[in-house]
Amino acid sequence: MAQISDKATEQQNQASKYIDQMSTAEILVTMNNEDKTVPAVVEKTIPQVGKFVDAVVASMKRGGHLFYVGAGTSGRLGVLDASEIPPTYSAPYDLVQGIMCGGLSALVTAVEGAEDDFDAGYKVVDERGITEKDCLLGITTSGMAAYVHAALKRAKEIGATTGLLVCNEFEKTEDIDILIKAVVGPEIVTGSTRMKAGTATKLILNMITTTAMIKLNKTYGNLMVDLMTTNKKLWDRGARIIRHCTGIDYDRAMKTLIQAGGSVKTSLVMVLLGINAESARKRLAVHDGALRSVLDEEGKTLNL
């Protein structure tokens, strides 16, 4: 059996060695001090994250998808990030997909030994219909999950772009196109990688999908102009964005948003160009959904 005792995340953290004797405040301060180190570690990964983002954007522009595959906390964070993309950016539900080792039930209940199942990881790539157009990011804190490496192997055989996110030192293999290493060091509770390693993973996944969506014309400036109005809060947010960007009153903004079927982008084109929803959608389609390009063509700008 492979040993993981040499992994940084399995080492004893000297700052928390006597944590069971600390007061509540001392424990919280210790935890917070350790958490403060994570962003600096993530910063060092930016060149590699950037390469993966560019690959994801290129993939999506040719009809591909982004898949995350992981076990335990890593898998859950992948599923979480994937699930948040459709409502935030009106993206298709299959554009970003999370593959959880052990299946969906493993999101809430640990499935012991699933991460060691090489055959299941290899098979899941074909089961999910991954092709050469797609990108697959394996996520494993230790770098040792057989399920993840099997998925990477099969994805590479198919011709997909592959990446691996780890939180320990790891040597790149032939199945990995882009290696992202966020070496966070020992956890305050030894081996509890849902902590600093989990935080680093969440930050990096946020960076990947947010940057990709921006590059795919899902924002105007830093405004969420392509959100999906799936509840009252988001209808209100959409109307407020329209009001802010165009200067019209809230009631008119909401009425326009309703006419546009809940599309903020369409609503903004309607107001700025004085056209109906169908015409606005056609204008956006011509420019691949780039709101800025539509408005630039007409010499129009939005308030930011």
Under DSSP, is residue 128 helix (H, G, I), strand (E, B) or coil? coil
208 in the same domain as 240 = no
Average pLDDT, the chain: 92
241 lies in the same domain as 183: no
Catalytic center residues: 84, 115
Last residue of a domain, one of 172, 190, 215: 215
* Model-wide pTM > 0.85: yes
pLDDT digits (tens, 9 = 90+) for 49-97: 999 999 999 999 999 999 999 998 999 999 999 999 998 898 999 999 9
Q: Are residues 127 and 258 in the same domain?
A: no
Scanning 90-231, the segments in alpha helix (DSSP H) are 118-127, 146-158, 196-215
Q: Is pLDDT above 80 for 112?
A: no
What pLDDT digit, counting tens, does each position of 196-234 carry? 999 999 999 999 999 999 999 999 999 988 888 889 999
- Looking at residue 164, what DSSP letter applies? E
- Both 166 and 62 in one domain: the answer is yes
Residue 87 lies in a domain: yes
Asked if 210 and 254 sit in the same domain, the reply is no
- Whether 272 and 129 map to the same domain: the answer is no
Number of domains in the chain: 2
Same domain for 150 and 203? yes
The domain that contains 137 carries what CATH number? 3.40.50.10490
Length of the chain: 304
Residue 192's contacts (CB-CB under 8 Å, 6 or more residues apart) are none
Specify whether 62 is located in the same domain as 198. yes
**Are both 31 and 131 inside the same structural domain?**
yes
Residue 243 is part of which domain span? 232-297
pLDDT at 278 > cutoff 90: yes
Tokens of 231: 């509840």
Does 202 share its domain with 240?
no
Residues 6+ apart with CB under 8 A from 32: none
Residues 157 and 82 reside in one and the same domain: yes
